[in-house]
Amino acid sequence: MSSYLCAIGTANPPHRIPQLQIADFMASALQLDPAGTRKLRALYRVSGIGQRYTVLPDYGRATGSFEFFPNTVGLEPFPSVGQRMAEYRRHALPLSVQAVQGCLQQLPEVSVTSITHLITVSCTGMYAPGLDIELVAALGLPSHVQRTCVNFMGCYAAVNALKLADAFCRATPEARVLVVCTELCTLHFQKSTEEDHLVSNALFGDGSAAVLVQGRPREQGPSLALTAFHCGLEPDGHADMAWHISNFGFEMTLSSYVPRMIQQGIGRLTATLLAELPVELADIRAFAIHPGGRKILESIEQALGLTTHDNRFAYQVLRDYGNMSSATVLFVLQELLHTLTAADAGAPVLSFAFGPGLTLEAMLLTVAWGEETPARHLHHVAQPVPATVVVSA
C-alpha cells in the first residue's frame, strides 16, 4: 500500500520587506562604511530574492522605531537566545494554525477530529510544553493524537517528517497524519561580518507549511504517493553546513563550498535512488527545485543538465519568500501541485533535500488523481515515465 500527500497549506507573517530594504537595515546594524555597504547591497541584489517575510517589523524600519532590537547604535544590548525564543513562542502558533487551516480547507472530507498523528518540524525555536501541544488545543485535535517533534535538522527536515508520516500510514492504513513545518529564521540575525553570517542574513525568511498525509488519495484532484526514500551523508561537508546555538541566537554556517559539494553528490544520490525503479533521469521532463540559494540552484542545474525554465518554481519561491528552511520545499511542492492535471496521473516526482552533516535526502513520489489508482502507477509500469524533480537545500 501507499501513503499520499493530499494537500498543502502555507502561511507567512504580515511583514513583507523588500530585499534591498533589509540590506539597508543590515548595513546600519553592522555599522558598515560606504564601501562595505555597496558590497552588501550587491550581495543582496544578486541573491535572486525580491522580498522576504518576517515576524519582526524592525527589518523595514530605521533606528528609533524598533520593537524587538534595541534603538541604539549597534543594537546593543543585542537580544539573547531567551528573548528570541520568547518571540518564537509568540508567533509560531498563529502562523502554524493559519497554514493548517489552508491545508484542511482543501479537504472537506477530513475533519480535525479524524487526525490520528501530528508531526511538528522546526529548527528555529523550541519550548515545552511545545508547539505540538498548543496546536492540539488551538485546532481542536483529539487529546489522544499521537505527537512527534522533528527538531534542529534544517532544510531537509520536511523529508524526515514525511518518512514518519509514511511509516505511520503503512502501519495503520486508516491513519491521518498532519505535518506542520514552521520556521522563524529571521529571529536569528547575527551581527557579524563573517561571510557565513552575511550570506545567511541575506537568504532566510519566515514561513509555515502544513500537509495532510493519509493512506488513500484525496477524493478529487491531485495527490502525491510517497513511494521511496534514500538518505546519504557527505562527511567532507560536516563543517560547511551547520546550525549551532550561541548566546545570541542560532548561528548558521553555510560556506561557499556547499554548492560545489551538492553539485558533486547530486548525480550519485539520484542514481542510487533510481537504481531499482522504472524511471531514469533522462526521462524527467518537469522540475521543481527547492531554493537553498541562487548558487545552489545553478550548481544543480549544471549537474543535472537543467535550464532556468526547468527551475521556474524554485526561482519563483526564492524571489517571493527567500529560503524558509524546512518549510520551503513544501512551498515549492504547493506550486507544483497547482500545475498538475489528470493527465499527469502516474508520473513520478523526485525530491532531494540537503542540510547539516552534509546530509542528502532523496524522495520519490508518484502523482495520483482522485481516488482511482493511477493507470501508470510506478509499481506497475514497464517503461520509464515522465517525472518531476524537487530539490531542497
Q: What residues act catalytically?
A: 155
Peptide bond into 222 cis (omega under 30): no
Cα-flanking dihedrals φ and ψ of residue 16, to 5°? -105, 110
The DSSP call for residue 368 is E
Of residues 105, 168, 175, 92, the one with CA closest to residue 135: 92
Of residues 362, 353, 332, the one with CA closest to residue 154: 353
Residues with Cβ within 8 Å of residue 113, at least 6 apart in sequence: 140, 141, 142
- DSSP notation for 100-166: HHHHHTT-TT--GGG--EEEEEESS---SS-HHHHHHHHHT--TT-EEEEEES-GGGHHHHHHHHHH
How far apart (Å, rounded) are the C-alpha atoms in residues 320 and 335? 12
Peptide bond into 358 cis (omega under 30): yes
Q: Is the dihedral of CA 191, 192, 197, 199 positive or negative?
A: positive
Going through the chain in order, the beta strands assigned E by DSSP cover: 3-11, 15-18, 51-54, 117-122, 146-151, 176-184, 206-214, 222-233, 241-246, 249-254, 286-287, 348-355, 359-369, 388-392
Centre a 10 Å sphere on the Cβ of residue 217 and count the other Cβ atoms it contains: 25
How far apart (Å, rounded) are the C-alpha atoms in residues 324 and 291? 9
How far apart (Å, rounded) are the C-alpha atoms in residues 227 and 162? 11
Of residues 221, 222, 229, 213, the one with CA closest to residue 4: 213
CA distances from 194 to 6, 39, 255, 260, 269 (A): 42, 13, 10, 20, 31
